[in-house]
A and B are shown apart, each in its own frame.
Chain A
Amino acid sequence: MAATADTIFDQHLTARAFSLTSAFWFAFATSIGMVAAGYLIAPDFMANIPYLQFGRIRPIHVNLVLFGFVTPGLLAAAHYYVPRLLRTDLFSQKLGLMSVILWNVAVVSAVVSLSTGHSQGREYAELIWPVDMLVIVSFALVVLNLLMTVRRRKEPVLYVSIWYACAAVILTALTFSLGNVIWRPDTGALLGIPDAILLWFYGHNVFGLLLTPLTLGLAYYVIPIVTRNPLYSHTLSLIGFWSLLVVYTHIGTHHLLQVPVPTWLKVVATVDSVAMVIPVMVFLINIWYTAKGKLGEIHADIAGKFIFTGTIFYFFVSIQGSIMALPQVQRITHFNNWVIAHSHLGVLGFAGLSALGGLYYILPKITGKPLYSRFLADLQYWLVLIGIVGFTVVLTIAGLVQGNSWFAGETLYRTLPEIHSYYVVRLSIGLFIALAAYIGLYNVIRTIYFNPGEEA
């Protein structure tokens, strides 16, 4: 029996390593987030420690959540379901392990460089050139491994999850290189207004071409299995895939509606931000109809529960995104905590919850043993759920207070005391999320290394 477990372990080395990566950086990133939230309440808290100064740790928090927690979590699942759907083994576990190691080197380098003040100053593209290179090589290794796996497949038909996983890693490797202006190692930037246009093209596509496709691929895999229903519609999955690539990719300028970029570009971004309803609803109709009548099964399965909840957040965050792209709405919502609420709703509520669901789906499969604790996973689910809902509500209110005060002609300084109490509530609710991350880390480590459970 022990031999069986060992075989399973070796077969899933890459998925296991990505799972640990994700769980670890989730805990680290939320801890950094807590420190950052602390500064907004008490700015002299840990004053004059350069490495922990707010302006330095905010990009660390963002980069860690995106590239330390969510992406590796979704990639862990992809390294499990891609070979399985193709009825073959992953092309190379050694290559996979190398990609995970390099990935972690890149993430650690990002933390060290940003905390020591090495930044290119472009939101979502802060990392200096050598770190950019590490990220690109890590992505290239993942692309190579997944494409070679596709090449060696024994199943002729590619299921929709394969499309999403492959497109996500290939296109992100490209947009990452472009968005970080890697042909200019010294600044990593273009000149003037075009720099902003490129930056938000890229920043927007971190969600559009990385987190969203990987998450949708995961949902397309897990929801039919958990509900034991066939996928509702193949046609819808085709429409959803191609429309996502066409629409999501070209609307990043909705971040720049209030600055002097060409008007035609703003018009395109605004109109097609509304058109995002098409890829979003096509996916949701497909997945929700697949789950129709099987909510009991979803509730009973911890992975299904996380991922299905993620799809509900996808609905909210996407519809909100379309509405936020309207210039009239942005007059109030831009530049304030409304946007911070929106980004947490998307990254934690949609992609983050789904990534955690992906981990809980694959962990029993890749270890050959049941999850160490279903109770802890459930506890994590509720802590994150309460955390993200509370977070969204309180930051949305704070954002409305800020936006409406400014709109009424109030100076920013006068609005600071108005939002102080919301910052306090935000930190308190953030504790739920940080606690959930540590519980998850414990559960993942116990499941992989110290699992007393019976082998399946």
Chain B
Amino acid sequence: MSQKMTPTAVVLGSVTILAAVVFVVVFWPYQQADYTPSEIFRYRTEAEAAGRKIYIANGCVYCHSQSIRAIDWGHGATRIAQAGDYVQDRPILLGSQRTGVDLSQEGGEHPDDWHIAHFINPRYTRPNSIMPPFEYLGMEKIELLTAYVQSLGMKAADKRMARQRFWKEESIRAYEAGIDENVRWLAEIVPQGWRDIPNPYAASEYSLARGRMIYQAFCIGCHGPVGDGMGDAQPWIYPPPLNFTILKGREISGGIIYYQLMNGITGTAMPYFKKDLESEKLWDVGNYIAAYFINEVDSNGPPRGIDAAYEP
């Protein structure tokens, strides 16, 4: 054994190494940090800042990242996170797991009532979610948390929120004008081309079976197991989820259903599903809703083009 490893050598040597390392990989980046705000940056309001504290206290950061990665580009991401997005964050909440979705651009994806139903119990709006319920926070804190989540994305979120608020008013006006007016409005917000086409897939046994699976994984929380709009989320949502059973004889084509599933109805709790589900799956849900709840199926009817190879 060498006599050179004296207590002084061990203690001073290791502390010196640590100091050098801290200088290079911690202090230097800190000294050189660029605090220029990014193009979407804005400061949080008081309510949003209070919501962020609730987010921290309840450990939301362990399941949700707040950073869209460069490698997500080309895999569905719409904007890559920049250092200038985080210049008011103390602590920064980048997250280390995606047990749940990334939230950095969550603001304005849904209206407030969707979030409130979702915090009461996430399964109310997303049946396959594994997020714990946050009903225990009480309405006051849930509203603050909602304000925070709606601010994620900052200026970009504000733009989406303005859109949500505009269409929220429109949808409430239509709903409160009665069933006839509401159904007319729901059909008229769909472009004419879509309204004219029937569901191009036959309402076969397997199409309906798949439609049923998807309905249970995505729709049942709001529209309920029998499609009457009385799902668990219903008490929290306004305008309330649509009751499909009133639609018979109202010229609801497969194309209208498909378009609404694909694009959602901004302002209402109805989200868009075009990122979650590919085309054929959406048509299958449409067939399921038409066959089981509306009891009026236009699938595979005219006008139709060339038969697909596998179709019956």
Contact = CB atoms under 8 A, between A and B. Distances in A.
Contacts of A201: 22, 25-26
Contacts of A250: 21, 24-25
What does DSSP make chain B's interface, helix, strand, loop or mixed? Answer: loop
Contacts of B131: 43
Contacts of B76: 409, 411
A159 B3 CA distance: 10
Contact of A147 (B3, B7, B25): B7
B10 A242 contact: no
B3 A55 contact: no
Nearest to B87: A192
A178 B136 contact: no
Contacts of A40: 99, 130
A50 B123 CA distance: 18
Nearest to B53: A121
Contact of B94 (A196, A412, A416): A196
Q: Which of A157, A196, A402, A408 has the most CB of B within 10 A?
A: A196
B97 A339 contact: yes
Interface stretch (B59-67, B152-160, B203-211, B295-303): B59-67
B17 A249 contact: yes
Contact of A262 (B29, B86, B133, B137): B29
Interface in B83-106: 83, 86-102
B113 interface: no
Contacts of A147: 7, 11
B57 interface: yes
Given A47-B132, A49-B136, A189-B91, A123 B57 contact: no
A150 B229 CA distance: 74
Nearest to A60: B59
Nearest to B91: A189
Interface in A182-237: 187-199, 201, 209, 234
Contacts of A197: 25-26, 29-30
B182 interface: no
B129 A43 contact: yes
Nearest to A42: B130
A193 B92 contact: yes
Contacts of A258: 67, 69-71
A117 B128 contact: no
B59 A238 contact: no
Contacts of B276: 411, 413-414
A255 interface: yes
Interface residues of A, number: 89
Contact of A120 (B56, B81, B122): B56
Interface in A372-409: 402, 406-409
A267 to B, nearest CB: 12
B245 interface: no
Interface stretch (A100-108, A168-176, A428-436): A168-176
Interface residues of B, number: 76
Given A166-B7, A170-B11, A268 B33 contact: no
Interface in B7-53: 7, 10-11, 13-15, 17-18, 21-22, 24-26, 29-30, 32-33, 35
A309 interface: no
Given A121-B91, A151-B7, A192-B83, A255 B132 contact: no
B227 to A, nearest CB: 21
B217 interface: yes
Contacts of B81: 259-260
A335 B26 contact: no
Contacts of B121: 44, 47
Given A43-B122, A151-B7, A121 B86 contact: no
A187 B15 CA distance: 27
B280 to A, nearest CB: 15
26 contacts: A43-B123, A43-B133, A44-B123, A50-B136, A53-B59, A53-B132, A53-B136, A121-B91, A147-B7, A157-B2, A163-B5, A170-B11, A187-B91, A190-B30, A191-B35, A197-B26, A234-B1, A242-B13, A245-B18, A246-B21, A334-B69, A335-B65, A336-B97, A411-B276, A414-B276, A417-B217
Given A174-B15, A413-B126, 8 more contacts: A40-B99, A166-B10, A238-B5, A245-B13, A259-B69, A340-B97, A411-B275, A412-B100
Interface of B: 1-3, 5-7, 10-11, 13-15, 17-18, 21-22, 24-26, 29-30, 32-33, 35, 55-63, 65, 67, 69-71, 75-76, 81-83, 86-102, 121-123, 126, 128-137, 217, 275-276
